Structure 1
Amino acid sequence: MHATTAIVTGKPGKARPRGGMTKKRPVDWLLLALVVVGAVLVIAPFYLVLVNSFKSPVDYATSGPLALPETLDFGGIIKFWERVNFPEKVWNSILIAGVVSVLAVVISMLNAFAIGIGRIRGRSWIVLLFLMANLLPQEALLYPLYFMFKSVGLYDNVWAVIIVFTVIQAAFGTYLLSSVYGTFPKEILEAASLDGASRWQILWRVVFPISRPTLSVLLIFFFIWTWNEFLIPLTFLASNANQTVPVAISVLQGDRLMDVTTTSASALLGIIPTLIFFLIFQRTLTRGITAGAVK
Structure 2
Amino acid sequence: MIRSRVESTREFNYRDVDFERIKAIIYCKAGIHLGDSKKQLVYSRLARRLRALHLPDFATYLTYLEQEPAEQEEFVNALTTNLTAFFRESHHFTILADYAKQHQSRAHRLRVWCAASSTGEEPYSIAITLAEAFGRYDPPVDIIASDIDSNVLAEASRGVYSLDRIEALPLEQKKQFFLRGKGSNAGKAKVIDQLRRLVEFKKINLLDKHWPLQGPFDVIFCRNVMIYFDKPTQMALLERMTRLLRPDGLYIAGHSESFTQATHLVRLVGKTTYHLASTADEGAGHEI
TM over 0.5: no
Tell me: higher relative CO, structure 1 or 2? Use CA pairs within 8 A at least 6 residues apart: 1
TM-score by length of 2: 0.25
Greater share of strand residues, 1 or 2?
A: 2
Q: Whose Rg is larger?
A: 1
